Structure 1
Amino acid sequence: MLSGKNNSGFGWDEHRQLVVAEDAVWNSYINSHKEAAQFKHRSFPYYDQLTAIYAKDRATGKDAQTAADIIEEIDAEDVAITNTHEERNDFHGCEADVSLDDMDLSGTQQQPAINQGDSTFSKRKKKTSDASDHISSTSFNDAATLLAEKIETVGVEISRSIASEVLIQQRSEMTLQESALKLYPTLCEVEGLTKDERYRALSKIPDNPTQMLIFFSLPSSVRLGWVRRFLADH
């Protein structure tokens, strides 16, 4: 009401931190609201801070906020509460602007009002924390699901790779076995190779699979020289 246009004759004294109005306006209001009498001469040193904390929720509604707004609001409220406590200490050490004669000393509800505000803030912060925890839990579940899918995909690829390597190895072993079976007959076909050289080659060449594959890839005309060089090196 203090910041709006329709203020019913009330205003705000920024210097004294008071709600101000003509006596007739106050008296008319008090007649309808007896409990308002104690606030006629009472200052509200935390009005600006409370407005900064609660004005946004009153204007937009809590449910209208996004998760980012909630987290940002918590940070802003923490700073505002810290400033409030600091200013509260300063306020108790300062001389009041309003004289003791004008103050209604029987009203001692200022501290409970502050406690009520702290309680409300705690509830709002708990709700915000619950919302943040829910968001974090949802994000964690999504991340876990995505990670599981990635692991499954990688597992399938690894299985395929292993199967491919096993197949290649099996084919290679089959080729080597076939070559080993054909080695002796092929050595017998090499002209000029002695019986002793044949047996020595038969015992050494299978121990070197790569060399055996090379032997079978050579034309017949050069196999004699290749076998003799191989036996000299091995």
Structure 2
Amino acid sequence: MLEAKSVNLFYGASQALKDVSVSASPGKITCILGRNGTGKTSLIRAIAGQAAARGGSIMFDGKDITKLPADKRARAGIALVPQGREIFSSLTVEENLKTGFAGLARKERNIPDEIYELFPVLKSMLHRRGGDLSGGQQQQLAIGRALVMRPKVLLLDEPTEGIQPSIIKDIERVIAMLRDRGTMSIILVEQYFDFARRLADNFIILNRGRVIHSGDGAALQDEKARTMVMV
């Protein structure tokens, strides 16, 4: 269980998050919705430890990790798939996957076969450079790299951005499959409303750094929610 309560975040004098709360449970997908600039990525970065929260708390497995650095959060089981993928273009697919070893004990430093089952294209391109892959293939690589870490919490920041529809369907299938195993908590930042609506068990909608609406996935079937995302 991960729970962020009343998180505030500043960039200099500018406040990006204002008393934002969100939680994620194993076997559930929590979606963070809103337009560009509303604080979605800032919230993900605060949870991952890449941006320091000023006020509020972040609890994970009953422990306060608010001040824990990003590398220790990763070792504790929090994996981030960042917006823009951020793969290493000069490294091969296999080498990119192995960068996920950093937070693992030596005995766990292997690439699980299931990653190639989830994303068969990665196995066929193991020795291709990351920069030679298409955008969709790079996104699958970024998710695969995060899964190498055997995360308890998977943070996905705009995984459909710039991706062709056929790959979006593949990514949706994988996210749903990971959720249905019941062992992983998933937080999904998304602008593509219908994608989020199909996957969300719970959601929050941000506007100007504040939560303006929240609820369970069924509430996203209401067109009012779509309108609020577009506010």
When normalised by structure 2's length, the TM-score is 0.21
TM-score by length of 1: 0.21
Greater Rg over alpha carbons, structure? 1
**Greater per-residue helix proportion:** 1
Q: Could you say which structure has the higher strand fraction?
A: 2
